[in-house]
């Protein structure tokens, strides 16, 4: 490997990209979509949450909770016949938080007793669920006008596979869509911009002129650096223009860098397979879908089997990490698993690139 | 010094073959090219010219046989061969969004050539004034001269040219031939393929005819014409009739002798065979 040669090809690609309208549009399009989303949705839209209640006698507690939380969330209340039904709904994430109110709860409070109140939360509570659980003590005190008012038992359900459908509610539509636009931008670089550069080199046979002196590996490294530079410049630009600041910057950087490296690997592979620009135009849109759709699904309620399929796609894991980083808390668990899945795809992608390169050199 | 007055061999090819399945693109080809020599490879489309260049420049692996450049195996010592050679491609594969200067600067860096080499080469190929223009605005002749400048950036000991004057107007083609000649005069070896017989005749010290992947003749243009060409003469008689006679044909020679004896001959213009004739004789059809 010759660093001077890699640098020369890398610089040529960067300069060429600034003069190539196709590549400029490939970046501008997601950037404009991100900005559009940023203007369409506001951060101050109140998230929604659902409170499930099992109460054998009439109680004012749900109404009091609604009144206390109305500044921050839109809380809907739904009654359930028994604890088992409520627990099932919380586990299935149809309800953000469940309350088991014992019979005569209001009377007991007013009588100065401390009746037991059971709160049921999922393994990864939503913002609304957490908020209701946190405010419960204050609400019961207000009803009883005494401290402590009720003995609150908190039950957290064991984690189940799948995603948190509360990401949208917790993060807000604006940030979610900007994050989707970031992933769209990385995907566009991977499946279009980078392969376009490689395909043009092959189609116009400039690649042969390069490899007359440089090795195939040097060209590939230079192209990877070019793709990564495109990612590294465009993502902060998107965040700056949409005024989205991650709460956990380190996690966000890790997610974006890992995803960029992985997708660039697949971009190199795609670029290596395409012979003409026309082929690339056809196949890049096909390749874009499996990268983009999983990222969108992560923020939405979806059946378990869909979530299972989506969870093996690197961009879905980027979305999970990105949501956590933007929210500053773990809305999605097992961050290490997300990192491992993205890294796994990187190994597969670069492994295939290396395999193709060795075959070409041997022919 | 070899028989043709050139130095030691810098390209040595021994039994080189390239097969694609049943197709024998190049079949057991052997030859050598001396330092400072210009060798032309002629043949029909698909005769194996480009494949031969691809193998000699290390871009295609031979099925069998081997090729050495400056004593180095082009397959197993490719990295050491690379700085010694360069190639003018058949296609004008330049970076069209970059300027002429940027194109040369890129390859100067890739080959580790000093930056001063770029303006020198632009001057040499007459592109100094157009150096800051993007290549997409260049004419075909200008692009071809830039391609040659790019191939000279590392001052290669062996310069390969694949159809260097194809599609050029006569003036641009003459410029290109002059640059090639100058490079050879400076001591480099030139290996070129061409469709143009006159070009091969004018430019090449030796010519190899390739047909169906095999070399059917290899010698100086003069020797090839003498050995395989048809010597003819145009005879103008007193009655103003003009006759074409073949000097190697016994009947025609006797006819000419009779005209001479009768004092009927006004003028005789003899012609040696052309490379075109030689090629037709050897390959069975014209280029």
For chain B, which residues lie within 8 Å of any Cβ of chain A, measuring from their own Cβ? 57, 59-61, 79, 82-83, 85-87, 89, 91, 93-98, 102, 106-107, 109-112, 150, 154
Question: Looking at the structure, do residues A182 and A56 belong to the same domain, yes or no?
Answer: no
Question: Looking at the structure, do residues A222 and A300 belong to the same domain, yes or no?
Answer: yes
- Residue A35 within a domain: yes
What one-character DSSP code corresponds to residue B97?
T
Residues 6+ positions from A114 with CB-CB distance below 8 Å: A108, A148, A149, A150, A151
Last residue in a domain, options A112, A132, A156: A156
Position B129 scores a pLDDT of 92
Contact B83 A213 (CB under 8 A): yes
* Whole-angstrom distance, CA of residue A96 vs CA of residue A49: 6
Residues of A with Cβ-Cβ distance to B150 under 8 angstroms: 209
Position A163 scores a pLDDT of 44
Interface pTM, i.e. ipTM: 0.82
Closest residue on chain B to A219 (Cα): B110
Of A287, A299, A293, A53, the closest CA to residue A176 belongs to: A299
- Residue A192 within a domain: yes
Question: Looking at the structure, do residues A116 and A227 belong to the same domain, yes or no?
Answer: no
Model-level pTM greater than 0.90?
Answer: no
Question: Looking at the structure, do residues A141 and A198 belong to the same domain, yes or no?
Answer: no
Closest residue on chain A to B55 (Cα): A363
Question: Looking at the structure, do residues A137 and A91 belong to the same domain, yes or no?
Answer: yes
Last residue in a domain, options A107, A128, A156: A156
User: For residue A114, what are the domain limits?
Assistant: 48-156
The better pLDDT of the pair A109, B16 is held by B16
* Whole-angstrom distance, CA of residue B174 vs CA of residue A207: 29
- The structural domain count of chain A equals 2
- Residue A166 within a domain: no
Residues of A with Cβ-Cβ distance to B21 under 8 angstroms: none
- Residue A161 within a domain: no
For chain B, helix, strand, coil in percent to 5 are 35, 30, 35
Last residue in a domain, options A95, A124, A156: A156
Question: Looking at the structure, do residues A311 and A232 belong to the same domain, yes or no?
Answer: yes
Contact A215 B79 (CB under 8 A): yes
In tens, the pLDDT along A134-158 reads: 888 777 777 776 555 667 776 766 6
Question: Looking at the structure, do residues A219 and A343 belong to the same domain, yes or no?
Answer: yes
Q: What is the overall mean pLDDT for chain B? A: 87
Q: Locate the domains of chain B by residue range.
A: 35-51+78-217, 230-271
**CATH classification of the domain holding A56:** 3.40.1710.10
Q: pLDDT tens digits for chain A (363 residues)?
A: 889 999 999 999 999 988 888 888 888 888 888 888 877 777 656 677 889 999 888 888 888 888 888 777 888 889 998 888 989 888 888 888 898 988 888 888 777 777 888 888 887 777 778 888 888 877 777 777 655 566 777 676 665 544 444 666 667 778 888 888 899 889 988 888 888 888 888 888 998 899 999 988 899 899 999 989 988 888 999 888 888 888 889 999 999 999 999 999 988 888 888 888 888 888 888 888 888 888 888 867 667 777 788 888 899 899 989 988 888 877 787 888 889 999 999 999 889 988 887 877 666
- Residue A165 within a domain: no
SS (H, E, C) chain A: CCHHHHHHHHHHHHHHHHCCHHHHHHHHHHHHHHHHHHHHCCCCCCCEEEEEEEECCCCCHHHHHHHHHCCCCEEEEEECCCHHHHHHHHHCCCCCEEEEECCCHHHHHHCCCCCEEEEEECCCCCHHHHHHHHHHHHHHHHHHCCCCCCEEEEEECCCCCCCCCCHHHHHCHHHHHHHHHHHHHHHHHHHHHHHHHHHHHHHCCHHHHHCCCCCHHHHHHHHHHHHHHHHHHHHHHHHHHHCCCCCCHHHHHHHHHHHHHHHHHHHHHHHHHCCCHHHHHHHHHHHHHHHHHHHHHHCCCCCHHHHHHHCCCHHHHHHHHHHHHHHCCCCCCCHHHHHHHHHHHHHHHHHHHHHHHHHHHHC
Question: Looking at the structure, do residues A241 and A142 belong to the same domain, yes or no?
Answer: no
When scoring A4, A12, A17 by the number of chain B Cβ atoms within 10 A, the one with the most, hence best to mutate, is A12
Question: Looking at the structure, do residues A183 and A212 belong to the same domain, yes or no?
Answer: yes
* Whole-angstrom distance, CA of residue B194 vs CA of residue B197: 8
Question: Looking at the structure, do residues A311 and A195 belong to the same domain, yes or no?
Answer: yes
Task: Tell me the HSE value of A288 on the side-chain side, using a 13 A CA sphere.
Answer: 21
Give the CATH superfamily of B35-51+78-217. Answer: P-loop containing nucleotide triphosphate hydrolases (3.40.50.300)
């Amino acid at each position: 490997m010759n660093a001077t040669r890699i640098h020369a090809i890398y610089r040529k690609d960067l300069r060429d990209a600034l003069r190539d309208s196709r590549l400029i549009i490939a970046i501008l399009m997601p950037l404009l979509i991100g900005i559009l989303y940023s203007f369409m949705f506001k951060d101050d839209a109140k998230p929604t949450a659902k409170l499930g209640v099992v109460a054998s006698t009439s109680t004012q507690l749900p109404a009091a909770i609604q009144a206390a939380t109305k500044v921050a969330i839109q809380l809907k209340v739904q009654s359930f016949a028994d604890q088992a039904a409520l627990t099932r709904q919380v586990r299935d994430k149809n309800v953000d938080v469940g309350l088991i109110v014992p019979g005569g709860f209001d009377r007991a409070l007013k009588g100065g007793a401390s009746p037991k109140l059971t709160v049921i939360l999922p393994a990864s509570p939503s913002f609304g669920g957490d908020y209701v659980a946190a405010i419960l003590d204050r609400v019961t005190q207000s009803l009883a006008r005494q401290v402590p008012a009720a003995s609150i038992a908190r039950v957290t359900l064991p984690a189940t596979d799948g995603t948190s459908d509360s990401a949208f509610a917790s993060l807000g539509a604006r940030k979610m869509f900007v994050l989707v636009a970031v992933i769209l931008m990385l995907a566009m670089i991977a499946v279009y911009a980078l392969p376009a550069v490689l395909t043009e080199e092959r189609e116009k046979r400039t690649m042969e002129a390069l490899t007359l002196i440089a090795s195939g590996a040097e060209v590939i490294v230079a192209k990877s650096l070019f793709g990564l530079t495109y990612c590294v410049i465009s993502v902060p630009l998107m965040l700056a223009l949409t005024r989205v600041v991650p709460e956990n910057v380190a996690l966000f950087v890790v997610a974006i860098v890992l995803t960029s490296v992985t997708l660039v690997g697949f971009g190199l592979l795609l670029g290596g397979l395409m012979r003409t620009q026309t082929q690339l135009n056809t196949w890049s849109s096909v390749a874009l879908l499996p990268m983009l759709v999983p990222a969108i699904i992560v923020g939405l309620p979806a059946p378990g089997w869909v979530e299972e399929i989506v969870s093996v796609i690197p961009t879905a894991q980027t979305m999970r990490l990105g949501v956590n980083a933007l929210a500053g808390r773990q809305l999605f668990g097992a961050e290490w698993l997300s990192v491992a899945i993205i890294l796994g795809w990187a190994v597969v992608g670069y492994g295939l690139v290396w395999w193709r390169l060795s075959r070409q050199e041997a022919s | 010094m070899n028989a043709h007055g050139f130095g030691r061999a810098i390209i040595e090819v021994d039994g080189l073959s390239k097969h694609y399945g049943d197709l024998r693109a190049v079949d057991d080809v052997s030859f050598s090219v001396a330092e400072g020599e210009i060798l032309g490879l002629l043949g029909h489309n698909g005769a194996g010219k480009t494949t031969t260049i691809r193998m000699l420049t290390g871009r295609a692996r031979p099925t069998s046989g081997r090729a050495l450049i400056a004593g180095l195996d082009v397959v197993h010592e490719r990295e050491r061969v690379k700085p010694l050679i360069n190639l003018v491609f058949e296609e004008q594969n330049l970076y069209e969004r970059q300027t002429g200067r940027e194109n040369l600067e890129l390859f100067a860096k890739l080959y580790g050539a000093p930056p001063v080499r770029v303006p020198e080469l632009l001057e040499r190929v007459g592109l100094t004034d157009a150096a800051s223009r993007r290549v997409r605005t260049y004419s075909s002749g200008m692009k071809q001269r830039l391609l040659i400048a790019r191939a000279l950036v590392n001052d290669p000991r062996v310069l390969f040219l694949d159809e260097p004057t194809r599609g050029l107007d006569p003036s641009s083609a003459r410029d290109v031939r002059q640059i090639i000649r100058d490079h050879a005069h400076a001591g480099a070896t030139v290996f070129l393929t061409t469709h143009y017989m006159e070009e091969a005749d004018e430019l090449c010290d030796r010519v190899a005819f390739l047909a169906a992947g095999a070399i059917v003749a290899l010698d100086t243009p003069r020797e090839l014409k003498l050995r395989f060409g048809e010597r003819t003469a145009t005879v103008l008689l007193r009655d103003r009739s003009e006759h074409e006679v073949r000097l190697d044909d016994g009947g025609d020679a006797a006819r000419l002798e009779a005209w001479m004896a009768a004092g009927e001959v006004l003028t005789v213009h003899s012609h040696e065979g052309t490379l075109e004739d030689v090629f037709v004789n050897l390959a069975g059809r014209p280029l």
